[in-house]
């Protein structure tokens, strides 16, 4: 389970506020991902990054932003433009992306609630 | 893009019986199919995976089968135990190597 951490574990946000979720890994992985999980649904990809200073939109990127300034870190900002942000957010990392065959390791998650 | 469908959404089994979860995928270029187990409030953890050049893989009480022609793969859990109760997700890689997840199966093992 070690190697990839997320903080905080629980986060409460008022409507109209931006919040940033932290994700750090010490696995020396090149690829990192952000997923959103809602009850009864699978994991949906928000953003992913294959290398430092590069990232791509996933299936549900609207209302979110990311940065990848360091290999170890991939923070996710939930902006006020995200209409329904209450969810469980999972960060993951893998050795690489291209060619698949890459096991993704997940962080413990952040549960975001909009008040 | 890739689309993964997973059935059933819930599965109740008696302890000791077998459980089977099925997934179908749409992208014929998919070549990696992992299965994750997620306990309540915890992170998903890989339990088994299979690559497209293999038809079946087994690890103790867990097995996965892959039919590339039909584009479906299945998870089989034998001799189920209460600790097998969790949500199970299948996934398939798309042509870029990103994973597309199924909606999950809630497995409940009753003593």
Tell whether B32 lies on the interface with A, counting CB pairs under 8 A: yes
Choose the closest CB to A42 out of B34, B42, B89: B89
DSSP secondary structure letters along A30-87: SEEEEEEE-TTS-EEEEEEEEETTEEEE-TT-TTEEE--SBTTB--EEE-TT-S---E
- Which 8-state DSSP code applies to residue B17? S
Burial of B14 (0-12, 13-18, 19+ CB in 10 A): exposed
CB A11 within 8 A of CB A111: yes
Tell whether B49 lies on the interface with A, counting CB pairs under 8 A: yes
The pLDDT score that the predictor gives to residue A1 is 47
CB A49 within 8 A of CB A70: no
> Are residues B101 and A44, on separate chains, in Cβ contact within 8 Å?
yes
Counting one residue from chain A and one from chain B, the pairs whose CB atoms sit within 8 A come to: 60
Kindly report the CA angle at B65 between B71 and A59, in degrees rounded to 5?
A: 50
The pLDDT score that the predictor gives to residue A81 is 87
pLDDT, tens digit only, all 111 positions of chain B = 789 999 999 999 999 999 999 999 999 989 899 999 999 989 999 999 998 888 999 999 999 999 999 999 999 999 999 999 999 999 998 877 789 999 999 999 999
Minimal Cα–Cα distance from A69 to chain B, Å? 21
Choose the closest CB to A102 out of B30, B97, B103: B97
d(CA A100, CA B33): 9
Closest CA to B101 of A27, A29, A36: A36
d(CA A6, CA A8): 6
* Mean pLDDT calculated for residue range A33-56: 93
Minimal Cα–Cα distance from A31 to chain B, Å? 10
């Amino acid at each position: 389970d070690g190697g990839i951490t997320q903080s905080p574990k629980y986060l409460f946000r008022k409507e109209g506020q931006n919040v940033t979720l932290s994700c750090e890994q010490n696995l020396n992985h090149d690829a990192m991902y952000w997923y959103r999980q809602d009850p009864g649904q699978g994991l949906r990809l928000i953003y992913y990054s294959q290398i430092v200073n590069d990232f791509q939109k996933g299936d549900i990127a609207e209302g979110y932003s990311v940065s990848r300034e360091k290999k170890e870190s991939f923070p996710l900002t939930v902006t006020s433009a995200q209409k329904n942000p209450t969810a469980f957010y999972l960060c993951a990392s893998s050795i690489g992306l291209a060619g698949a065959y890459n096991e993704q390791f997940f962080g413990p998650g952040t549960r975001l609630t909009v008040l | 893009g890739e689309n993964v469908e997973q059935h059933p959404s819930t599965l109740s089994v008696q302890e000791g019986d077998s459980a089977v979860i099925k997934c179908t995928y749409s992208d014929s270029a998919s070549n990696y199919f992992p299965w994750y187990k997620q306990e309540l409030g915890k992170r998903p953890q890989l339990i088994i995976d299979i690559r497209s050049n293999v038809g079946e893989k087994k690890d103790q009480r867990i097995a996965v089968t892959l039919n590339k022609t039909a584009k479906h793969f299945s998870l089989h859990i034998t001799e189920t135990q209460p600790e097998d109760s969790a949500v199970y997700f299948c996934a398939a890689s798309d042509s870029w190597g990103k994973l597309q997840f199924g909606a999950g199966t809630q497995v409940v093992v009753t003593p």
